[in-house]
Amino acid sequence: MCSIIGYYGKNSAAPIMVKGLKRMEYRGYDSVGVATEYDQKIEVRKGVGKVSEVNDSECLDKLPGRIGIGHTRWATHGKVTALNAHPHSSTSGKIAIVHNGIIENFNELKEELEKDGFTFVSETDSEVIANLLQQNYNQTSNVKKSIIKTVSKLKGHYAFVAMFENGILAAARYHEPMIIGIGKDDYFLSSDVLGFIEKTDDAIYIDNGNFVILDSSGMQICDFEGTPVKHQITKVSKEFADAYKGDYAHFTLKEISEQPETILNAGKKTESAIEQTADFIKHAKNVYMTGSGTSYNAALVAKYLMSKYAKVKIEPIISSELPTLHDSIEPNSILIAISQSGESADVLEAVNIAKKSNAKILAIANHKNSALVHESSLFIGMNCGPEVGVAATKSFTSQLAIIYKITEKLCEGCLDLDFKEVSNSISKILSNHSKIQSIAKELKNVSDIYVLGRGIHYPIASEAALKLKELTYIHAEGIPGGELKHGPLALMDSNVYVIIINPNDSTYTDTLTSAREIKARGAKIIGISDKNSDVYDHWIEIPSIKESMFPLIEIISIQLLSYYSAVEKDTDPDYPRNLAKSVTVK
Ligand code: F6R
């Protein structure tokens, strides 16, 4: 989703910002822009496309000056055009801003500003921030006062950086991330540590409802009333700077291939948090588990696993649905929030609701410096390293591994976990590329794929369908095996492919029956199993493993199948259209 970068220092700002924006490309965007202040004048350059393309056409990195702001935009209000790209300037051109989030009352503010002579050139909600700041600066001639007045009028969730013609930089944060990087003789402002990690690993996470001003006298951080606040410098994890593709054609393939190793690292160094989580679960009145997309599918696996093996009931809730289900949570309940990025707005909102009800918040996240972890009283680290591909792959199996570890504590060792065995099984699946590649060629022209799984394999079927949709743009749907006859069977004909997740476990016979019913209607069957069957048109073999462990390995084949199908279709597996890695708006 949108990324912000700001620079204040002694070096040439533009090349540093363009590099920072490139590092944040994985978050997803459609247009890009940069502005610098030089000789008390602001110049803005922007356009539609990748950072390197717009840089080639607009020479973004050649802008002069030692102060600047930059942005990659993921359209919410207004089409994907150069005019709608950030930075946006105030009518006089004396202030420029970059903004993440949504200004809910932008229409009212715009009308008021227009009455006062301000004009607008874009369709965005963001442009009001530039003009509102200008209006307030005209009245106060003071950057601090103009920020305080501006934030008092804005409604919604936002983080913005404003650059004033007099060479002052200011940034405010309200329910959107904003981090200050502290360099040797410079400052960085960014929505993501990747924006500046190459330059410094000292960072200040601006608290919600605070703003910062950078000028020749240094840095001042205040709350929205203008009272200076204390701040803490944190060392950010350098490992997130190591996001290189190496010899792999795509980050997605690299990340899929890392799983024999990442599965072994999940939860490491946070073992006591795993133990405490199990303890909280045992004593809580209700246990809710929340997440979005893939992270929600992990919560669904937890429901089946904990119910079957630990006889513990948990309620998985899609984060964006939580506000419609619960405006509060019963006392003595816990909310386990799962999020790779730790920045998903829907997850943070769900956490907010639970916190207001005094529920304990436990986070399973990959980014330990994320907003989610800051909001939680306990944190379990996924430790799978940077995941750049927009589609979640290795983070999913890391989330599952943590869920397995918590379940193991709850049932006092009943799973007999052996992650070395899981890791070896994943390696075996990964060595079977050529078979999967040849099936991917066939899927190229298919318009509908269904994925069927029974019991604990149903959440894996949902996750598989999500991967197929995101990476291949083919319509895909997960079906719980037993539901076939209650509707989906009507869709089966010779144009359809159905992936059957069918390890040789207690669900095997029923699932095979479903496969036969589908086959009888002419659909093509891809079986994912450790046991072959004449019903499969294609068999993707997975190793035999303990019954409880199959979910950890069966998803790998579908990640590969989705990846290779995307390659066959010539879509970009790393950056699927319209999607963003961190969904930081509601
Ligand atoms: C799916 C995918 C998304 C994310 C979702 C939650 O491949 O990447 O569905 O899983 O946006 O993201 P996090 O886990 O960062 O909260």
DSSP SS3 for 471: helix
pLDDT band at 237; cut points 50, 70, 90: low
Give, for ligand 1, the residue of 341, 398, 471, 473 to mutate: max count of ligand atoms closer than 8 Å to Cβ: 341
Task: For residues 252 and 547, give the distance between their C-alpha atoms in angstroms, rounded to a whole number.
Answer: 28
Asked if 157 and 346 count as a contact pair (C-beta separation under 8 A), the reply is no
Q: How confident is the model at residue 37 (pLDDT cuts 50, 70, 90)?
A: very high
Question: For residue 175, what pLDDT is reported?
Answer: 86
Q: Quick one: which atom of ligand 1 is closest to the CA of 294?
A: 10
> pLDDT exceeding 90 applies to what percent of the chain?
84
User: Rounded to the nearest whole angstrom, what is the distance from the C-alpha of residue 28 to the centroid of ligand 1?
Assistant: 12
Query: How many angstroms is it from 399 CA to the middle of ligand 1?
Result: 12
What percent of the chain has pLDDT above 70?
99
Pick the more confident residue, 246 or 366.
Answer: 366
Asked if residue 241 has pLDDT above 80, the reply is no
Rounded average pLDDT over 444-448: 92
The DSSP-derived string for 143-207 is HHHHHHHHHHH--EEEEEEEEETTS-EEEEEEBS--EEEE-SSEEEEESSGGGTTTT-SEEEEPP
Active site residue 581: yes
Domains parsed from the chain with CATH numbers? 3-241 (3.60.20.10), 244-417 (3.40.50.10490), 433-574 (3.40.50.10490)
Nearest CA to ligand 1 atom 3: 293
Q: Is the per-residue pLDDT at 238 higher than 70?
A: no
Q: Give tens-digit pLDDT for 527-574.
A: 999 999 999 999 999 999 999 999 999 999 999 999 999 999 999 899
- Residues forming beta bridges with residue 448, ordered by sequence position: 475
Q: Is the CB of 583 under 6 A from ligand 1?
A: yes
Q: Which whole-number Å values give the CA distances from 426 to 280, 423, 536, 572, in the listed order?
A: 32, 5, 22, 24
Write the CA distances from 299 to 67, 266, 287, 385, 437, integer angstroms.
Answer: 44, 16, 11, 21, 30
Active-site annotation holder among 2, 394, 409, 467: 2
- Identify the helix (H) or strand (E) that includes residue 316: strand 315-318
Find out whether the beta carbon of 470 lies less than 6 Å from any atom of ligand 1.
yes
Nearest atom of ligand 1 to the alpha carbon of 581: 8
Instruction: Calculate how far, in angstroms, residue 75's C-alpha sits from the geometric centre of ligand 1.
Output: 18
Q: Name the more confident of 580 and 203.
A: 203
Q: Which atom of ligand 1 is nearest to the CA of 344?
A: 16
Residue of 338, 346, 347 whose CA lies nearest to 314: 338
Contacts of 122 (CB under 8 A, 6+ apart): 78, 83, 84, 88
Q: How far is CA 561 from the centre of its chain?
A: 22
